[in-house]
Amino acid sequence: MNILKTLIPARQVYLRRLYSSGSKLVETVQDNDTGISIISMARAPVNSLNTNLLNSLRTSLLEAQSNRSKGVVLTSSLPTIFSAGLDIMEMQTEDKQKLTEFWHTLQDTWLTLYSLSIPVATAINGASPAGGCLLAITTEYRVFVEGKHTLGLNETQLGMCAPKWFKDPYISLLGYRQAELALLRGLLFKPEKALQLGLVDELAKDKADAIEKCKKYILSYDNIPDVGRTATKLEIRSDLIKYMKENKEEDLKNFINNVTLPQVQASIKLYIKYLKQKQ
């Protein structure tokens, strides 16, 4: 019950667990009053997105959709981190088979989240660089908890290029010029700046407040027929969905060619060394 009390204030703890992954990497609860599923990533210490976490997240999203949830709030069970991004350990290799499995899993999880038929919003309760930012901008609505943490796509800082399906949603939110500068410099934004740029839709005082605001967004569609809303969402997003389906293998090839470059592998090793020194 500790997870439930963290997610929702005590006065609103009318939650029933629907399902959770066997590995406990993702926890899902449902608010009985609203029918909204709250999906929390729970891979300590920083929700690094490895193959197992991504698979668990995709399964949870598909189950929420098939269970006819009214919508999904995506968040983290960790107190100050939403997601530190892609697991760097998954990329510290030149083994193409391992890289292929990892990237295909990321592609499939992104495609599921991007094309989910039900409303989905993100309660960003802490740091969210790179892949963590990708998850947030893939959803329809973002609420960022106030604090010193940051959000953004900073792939260039590791010598990497964010692929099209990272960049296009980012550009659509920030506008071309601001997104270009942010992507080139690998900038990360604090909550107030993220709101100013349009990277997030609202700020919240804490995680519980963020979840309530996400639920309010989902409930705003109560009087909109699902069939019309879903068709419109998928039509708006159809170009990028089509791109991913038609260019999945080319995108994989580009990723492998980039990540296996000696200078990129060297940057990854230096970053891992830096992380170990911080522990």
| Residue numbers annotated as active site | 86, 131, 154-155
Look up residue 178 and give its amino acid: Q
Could you tell me if 139 and 110 are in contact, meaning their C-beta atoms sit under 8 angstroms apart?
no
- Cβ neighbours of residue 141 under 8 Å, at least 6 residues apart? 119, 120, 121, 122, 201, 214, 217
d(CA 145, CA 160): 28
Q: Residue 193: left (phi > 0), alpha (psi -120 to 50), or beta? A: alpha
Considering just the CA atoms, what is the radius of gyration of the chain in Å?
Answer: 18
d(CA 9, CA 24): 22
What 8-state DSSP symbol labels residue 279? Answer: -
SS3 category, 211 = helix
d(CA 30, CA 25): 17
E strands, 132-254, where? Answer: 141-145, 151-152, 202-204
- Cβ neighbours of residue 249 under 8 Å, at least 6 residues apart? none
- Cβ neighbours of residue 64 under 8 Å, at least 6 residues apart? 28, 37, 39, 72, 118
E strands, 84-190, where? Answer: 120-124, 128-129, 141-145, 151-152
